[in-house]
Structure 1
Amino acid sequence: MKIHTEAAERHTLSILVDNEPGILARIAGMFTARGYNIESLTVTGVSEDETISRITIVTKGSPHVIEQIIAQTERMPPVYKVVDLTEIGPHVERDLALVKVAGAGDNRIEALRLADVFRARVVDSTTQSFVFEVTGNSDKVDSFIELMREVGLVEVARTGVVAIGRGKDAS
C-alpha cells in the first residue's frame, strides 16, 4: 500500500485588513485554533490607504493546508484580500535584523569584514561592540546571524518578513 504525503512548502501571504484594534489577534487566533504555525508575522499599520493595514505572514504547509488557511482567512469580516505571493510569482521579500556583536582584536576585525560582505551597516559602535543593521531575504539574514555567532553574537532583534508583488499591479 502506497501512502501519499504532501510536503510542507513555505508560503508568503499578504493580507489586507481594516486598520482597527484586535484584527491581528483574531487572525493569529485563527492560526492557533487550527494548529497552523506562523514563521514570520509583520504588520504595517497603514498601507497605500490609511484605513487599510497589510499583514504579511510566512507559514508552511501542504498545498491543501495553504488553501485552507487562505479560505479561512478570507472569510473573516475585516479581511479584504488574501494573496499568496509565493503562488502569484515574482515578488520582493525583505527581512531586517539588528545584530549586536561584542569582540576585540581579530574578532572585531572579522565582524566588520563579514558585515561588509553582507552589506550590513554599522548603526552603533562602542569600543566593546557593534550593532549591525542587515536587510535582505530571510536566508541572507539567517546566514549573517550564524556567522556572527562565531565572532561574538550578543543579541538579535528582527522585524519579520515584509513582501510585495512585483510589477505594476497591486497584490
Structure 2
Amino acid sequence: MDSLLPQDIVDLARRVVEENMAAGRKVSLAESCTGGLVAAALTEISGSSSVLDRGFVTYSNEAKQAELGVASDIIETFGAVSVACVYAMAKGALERSDSDVAVAISGIAGPDGGTEQKPVGTVVFARARRDSDEPEAELKRFDEHSRAGVRHQATLCALELLLP
C-alpha cells in the first residue's frame, strides 16, 4: 500500500516538501479540525524531515492555550474558529519552533457544531512567517459538508499555504 491519503493531497505534499527543501525552509503546523492530516501528508514524502520541524494538534481550546499560547480572551471573544485565534495559533507555533513559516487551521468539519454565523464547512487558515510581522489569514466556507470532505479541502488549502 503506497498511502492511506488521497493522491491529490500526496502530490501537493510532495511539491511542498520539494520546494521548501530547495528554498532551505522549515515549516511547522498548528492543526485543529484537520487533526494532524497536514503533518501526515508531509511525512508521506521521503525527505520531509528536512522540511517539517514540528506539528501541534491542538483540538481543544485548552490545548490551543497551553501548547500555543493562545490567550483565553481571544477564544472567549472571537471563538476558536476565527481569524484572531488561528493567527495566534500560527504565531505560537512559529515562536515554539525553529521554522521559517507556520500554518494554522481551525474549523467546523461537521456534521454538527455549525451555527448561522459559522456553518459547517467554515475553516480559517493563518500563516506566520519569521521574516514578516504582517498577519496572513483567510476564512473559507467549503460547500462540501461531509466531515471527510471539509477536512480534505482544509488539508489542501493548508498545504498550499506552505508553498514558498
Q: TM-score range by the shorter chain?
A: under 0.3
Larger proportion of helix: 2
Give the alignment's TM-score, normalised by structure 1.
Answer: 0.23
Q: Highest CA radius of gyration, 1 or 2?
A: 1
Give the alignment's TM-score, normalised by structure 2.
Answer: 0.23
Larger proportion of strand: 1
